[in-house]
Amino acid sequence: MSLKIRLARGGSKHRPYYNIVIADSRFARDGRFIEKIGAYNPLLAKSDVKRIIIDLEKAKAWLAKGALPTDRVARFLGAAGIVKWEHGNNPQRAIPGEKAKARVTERAEKEQARKAAAEEARNAPAEAPAE
């Protein structure tokens, strides 16, 4: 069984509230969990003490049992000094995908064709009006 320490969303629409839970990774995000070890309220100010509440002893015990925290929970536990968290590095993130590259070249070709047509029309001699 692969255990995760993760967030389970609660609260109403546009008013999120998360419980920090221990759950099997195969369970649904808001579904069954083994134990609740804390809460996270993103609507509170970052300086508010009640924004993140974690039972650190339970977290340490579950980490010792092999539970893996998600990135967001690892950030919380890193701030508490339980796990070492460092910012992720994904240099591929800024590189556009194949379809985006194709769209850029297609736009450039259309723009070049439009400019060529405008230049050709400008350089063509004006036809004399028919009488």
* Token code pair at residue 104: 């850029």
Taking residues 117-124, what's their average pLDDT?
Answer: 86
Q: What is the pLDDT of residue 128?
A: 58
Does domain 3-80 bear CATH number 3.30.1320.10? yes
Distance CA 52, CA 20 (A): 9
Q: What is the pLDDT of residue 87?
A: 84
What pTM does this model have? 0.67
Distance CA 42, CA 20 (A): 13
Distance CA 79, CA 3 (A): 21
DSSP state for residue 87 in the 8-state scheme: -
pLDDT at 130 over 80: no
* Token code pair at residue 102: 């194709």
